[in-house]
Structure 1
Amino acid sequence: MSISEIASEMSSVRLALGCLLVETLLCGGFIALHAVIVWQFLSRSSPHARSKRDILLIGASAVMFVLAILHLVIDLDILVQSGLLRGVDVATLAKGITTWNGQTKLGFAKLTIYILQTFIGDSFMIYRAFIIWNNSCYIIAWPVILLTGEVASGFSSLAIGQLSPPARFHAFLQAYLVIAVVTNALATVLVMRPLWSSRGEVSEYRPDGFRLRTVRWRVAKSIVQSAAVFTISAICFTVNSFVSPLGLSASHYIFPPTVAIVFTIAVARICLSTVQESPRPSALEMNYNGPRIQSCPSLPITVDDIEDYSALPIAIHVSVSRTSDHGSMSSCGPHSSASSAKGKDEKYVVEENPGVV
């Protein structure tokens, strides 16, 4: 065996072990994050106040959590099956890792998890675009068509991989990854456009030294809010499937828990923003918890939103209090006792409640 082959096998094993360590750390943090979010959702909202949408999103987040943990378990099983615990040499270990990540039951299980995560993430992005664009079916027509083709090509590649040679399976897998990139990129653009356009209309004074920092913060915040990590992961998978098998293997380790974490954070922003800590809002407080604001809490309230709520009836509560103190007039005349007897507090309350805000 040549020195270059030994170096290649060593780099492959090191990459697998390093990426597995990163995946383990991400899953460990994800366990704590998911537990906190579920606890906050269950403790801060009463059962009758939870909407079906919130329950569905929390359920999807739980599915993403289970898929991420299963992915970690499969990666650990692949290392065990490759002979890591038996003390095999580097060449055997590298060959085993490559083989078990290929067209085997464990390899197909990892691919199935990625397909399911991509489907859930893209469906969530399309739903957000549908809400943000005022329930427009025309906006999400192409993303829905692409999502259907994505699911069909993904499961077709799984079926072909079990019956066809590696070259044909790899071609179908590349086609699926390309469709997934286009679907996710289109949905992400539809979600991010209102975010950037709404911020562009607001002019703020910022010192010159903070401009670069502000741009970086806006980019990072928009990536998290729009869940653009879905698109980044899809691009990495697609590019590495054409140019780098090692890069594709690294993406398989790192991105499943990362995508699940970002998905859970986005779901938490939506579900927890609708939870009200106070029992009842004030009568004169306007409730801007419409579906568009809940889908993306960072979007500002527009003129259209205010006009929608301005047509609602307003509850009016008028209280008039009058106090007469005649005690100081007791020494002014013989009628002081009668005057002091009439010196009572009078309070008039006028309530008008034409409707509930």
Structure 2
Amino acid sequence: MASTFPADEAKLVSIFMQTLLYGVFCPLFFATIIVLRRKVAAQSGMSKVMMGTAITMFILATMHIGVNFTRIIKAFIIFKNEPGGPAAYFNELSNFTNIFGSTIYVAQTLLGDGFVLYRCAVVCGRKYWIVAFPGLLLMGSTVTGIGILYSFAKVAQDAEIFLPELGHWIVSFFTLTLATNLICTGLVAARVWKINKMSERVGTANLMPVLLVIVESGAIYSATLLTLLFTYVADSWAQYLLLDAVSPIVGITFSLVILRLSLGLTAPDGVTRTFHDLHTHNYGVGSSLWAPPSVAGKGDSDIQLSAPSKTPSGRRPTETQVSEDDAVSNV
């Protein structure tokens, strides 16, 4: 595979794909910032976290594509007549531009995984024991990411990236970050599904569109990681295509979730949704999927509580009014 699709050709195709994806990410990023500014102005703590995350993701994605263009120029113009040509330059793992670009990639991946973990913790009512295992996986990803960078700095100049001593770190990193995303996405989806099933009993809002957004965003990123893992294990230079695509894809999936929820693109009904307090019906779950923190008085969302009329069971549940802007605060 490596001989039929050499490193220099793979890198050219990868920078083309990354540029296209970066072009998709840019308008989504600016639209996300516009949406989040309203929430930050309303002193929504969760939105401040998302604002900082979005800006950092955009900076890292921009830096990564800049490093890749620098490597293209050096390989095909400055060092084109060196022994081995452009392919030899791309295979030089200890080169500063390769280590710097890999550092940006690791940072972008860990940032995305960290936010997925944080979102999962918030949606699960800040019950941190639920996210303890994916938290350990994130720590493992951090260690293996550092191991990759250290190995690149110490490896022989003409060593290929498919060496076993490098492969242990790289495969572990891909596997851990894939597992983190699958588990966190599964936990959030399960929480939404559970709330939806219980809310159906009292005739409140349908959360299936929200569930689909969560699953779709997780599936896009997870499918990219899985394909990247397969191409690397197969010793294929096609892994460059997926590797360089990950950076903008992380930002794209992050922005799409925010925009689709905040702009009401997933809402089958009006601007405001109603969730009855499920405690009243002895379901053992908090009053809202979105905001255990704000109910506790921490101000992370704009949730308003009121007492509506009696339910069919004759009780007076607490009703939580959640606007489309509020929904995005915790998902």
Is the pair's TM-score, using the shorter chain for normalization, greater than 0.5?
A: yes
The question of whether the paired residues in 2 share the 8 Å contact of 1:126 and 1:143 is answered with yes
Deviations 1:36-75 (A, max 9, x none): 2212333x4573x132221111111111111111111111
- The alignment status of 1:139 with 2:135, answered yes or no, reads no
DSSP-derived class of the 1:8 partner: coil
Aligned length: 272
The question of whether the paired residues in 2 share the 8 Å contact of 1:122 and 1:183 is answered with yes
What does 1:313-324 align with in structure 2 at a 5 Å threshold? none
DSSP-derived class of the 1:134 partner: coil
Q: Which runs of 5+ in 1 are unaligned?
A: 204-216, 274-280, 296-304, 313-357
What does 1:42-81 align with in structure 2 at a 5 Å threshold? 42=37, 44-45=38-39, 47=41, 49-81=42-74
Aligned twin of 1:182: 179
Percent of matched pairs sharing the same residue: 18
The question of whether the paired residues in 1 share the 8 Å contact of 2:213 and 2:257 is answered with no
Equivalents in 2 of 1:195, 1:90: separation in Å?
Answer: 57
Aligned twin of 2:224: 233
Q: Could you tell me which amino acid in structure 2 is paired with residue 187 of structure 1?
A: C
Distance 1:83 1:39, change over 3 A: same
Distance 1:19 1:223, change over 3 A: farther
Match for residue 142 of structure 2 among 151, 164, 181:
151
CA-atom RMSD in angstroms? 4.1
Aligned twin of 2:317: 310
Aligned twin of 1:223: 215
What does 1:1-357 align with in structure 2 at a 5 Å threshold? 8=4, 12-42=7-37, 44-45=38-39, 47=41, 49-84=42-77, 92-99=85-92, 102-165=93-156, 167=163, 168-195=165-192, 221-224=213-216, 226-268=217-259, 292-293=289-290, 310-311=317-318
Q: Could you tell me which amino acid in structure 2 is paired with residue 191 of structure 1?
A: V
The question of whether the paired residues in 1 share the 8 Å contact of 2:40 and 2:48 is answered with no
The question of whether the paired residues in 2 share the 8 Å contact of 1:30 and 1:257 is answered with yes
Deviation at 1:83, TM superposition (A): 2.2
Equivalents in 2 of 1:17, 1:127: separation in Å?
Answer: 36
Equivalents in 2 of 1:175, 1:286: separation in Å?
Answer: 43
Deviation at 1:254, TM superposition (A): 1.5
Deviations 1:61-114 (A, max 9, x none): 111111111111111111111024787699623333333xx3322222222122
Q: Could you tell me which amino acid in structure 1 is paired with residue 67 of structure 2?
A: I
The question of whether the paired residues in 1 share the 8 Å contact of 2:18 and 2:245 is answered with yes
The question of whether the paired residues in 2 share the 8 Å contact of 1:121 and 1:230 is answered with no
Distance 1:88 1:192, change over 3 A: farther
Of stretches 261-270 and 182-191 in structure 1, the one that deviates more from structure 2 is: 261-270
The question of whether the paired residues in 1 share the 8 Å contact of 2:10 and 2:238 is answered with no
Equivalents in 2 of 1:162, 1:86: separation in Å?
Answer: 20
Distance 1:309 1:21, change over 3 A: farther
Distance 1:200 1:250, change over 3 A: farther
After superposing on structure 2, the runs of 4+ consecutive aligned residues of structure 1 that deviate more than 6 Å are 198-203, 217-220, 270-273, 285-288, 305-309
DSSP-derived class of the 1:244 partner: coil
Deviation at 1:13, TM superposition (A): 3.7
So what's the TM-score if we normalise by structure 1? 0.63
The question of whether the paired residues in 2 share the 8 Å contact of 1:58 and 1:267 is answered with no
Of stretches 155-164 and 252-261 in structure 1, the one that deviates more from structure 2 is: 155-164
Distance 1:117 1:106, change over 3 A: same
Equivalents in 1 of 2:83, 2:22: separation in Å?
Answer: 27
Distance 1:245 1:200, change over 3 A: farther
Q: Which fold has the larger relative contact order, with Cα–Cα distance below 8 Å and residues 6 or more apart in sequence?
A: 2
Deviations 1:280-312 (A, max 9, x none): x99xx9688x873369xxxxxxxxx99999348
So what's the TM-score if we normalise by structure 2? 0.67
The question of whether the paired residues in 1 share the 8 Å contact of 2:15 and 2:68 is answered with yes
Q: Could you tell me which amino acid in structure 2 is paired with residue 176 of structure 1?
A: F
Equivalents in 2 of 1:294, 1:21: separation in Å?
Answer: 41
Q: Could you tell me which amino acid in structure 1 is paired with residue 88 of structure 2?
A: K
The question of whether the paired residues in 1 share the 8 Å contact of 2:192 and 2:211 is answered with no
The question of whether the paired residues in 2 share the 8 Å contact of 1:240 and 1:247 is answered with yes
Distance 1:131 1:269, change over 3 A: farther
Deviation at 1:21, TM superposition (A): 1.5
Distance 1:169 1:263, change over 3 A: same
Q: Could you tell me which amino acid in structure 2 is paired with residue 172 of structure 1?
A: W
Deviation at 1:117, TM superposition (A): 1.7
Aligned twin of 2:279: none
